[in-house]
Structure 1
Amino acid sequence: MPIGFDDLVHDVMNDWPATIRVFLDFRMGCVGCPIACFHTVDDACGEHHVDRDAFLKALREVVASP
């Protein structure tokens, strides 16, 4: 099941630890943030003014890579 905009940030990083690098590369302060368990991927993109489509694509690429 691919990552979607409605997935919680905490769940994404917890289920696929390799995605942490994507959050850091996009300069998002989600790693270690106490709100990560409440914010969706879409919420985080909005808070950090990140292109949501580019970010989701990067997350999915990391998860799909061997």
Structure 2
Amino acid sequence: MAITKDNVIGEVITAHPELIETFFQNGMMCIGCPASQGESIEQASQVHGLDADALVNALNDALKAE
């Protein structure tokens, strides 16, 4: 399953807890935040001023490396 900007952060973490480090490495430090349970990667990226495309690419690259 490829990750997209529409995926909810909480769902990605539940399915792939090994990606927590990739979120951290890309500036997404709010993994434990209650909002992350319902926010898409794109929504959270906008709030935190991050590049959603770069984050999604990093997450998919990390999945391929597993």
The TM-score normalised by the length of structure 1 is 0.89
**1:15 has 2:23 as partner:** no
Output the CA distance in 1 between the equivalents of 2:31 and 2:53: 20
**Cα RMSD after superposing both structures:** 1.1
Question: Which consecutive unaligned segments of at least 5 residues does structure 1 have?
Answer: none
Output the CA distance in 1 between the equivalents of 2:27 and 2:51: 12
Percent identity of equivalent pairs: 29
CA contact (8 A) 1:9 1:30 kept: no
- Aligned residue identity for 2:41: V
Bigger share in helix: 2
Runs of 4+ residues deviating >2 angstroms:
none
Question: Which consecutive unaligned segments of at least 5 residues does structure 2 have?
Answer: none
Superposed displacement of residue 30, structure 1: 2.2
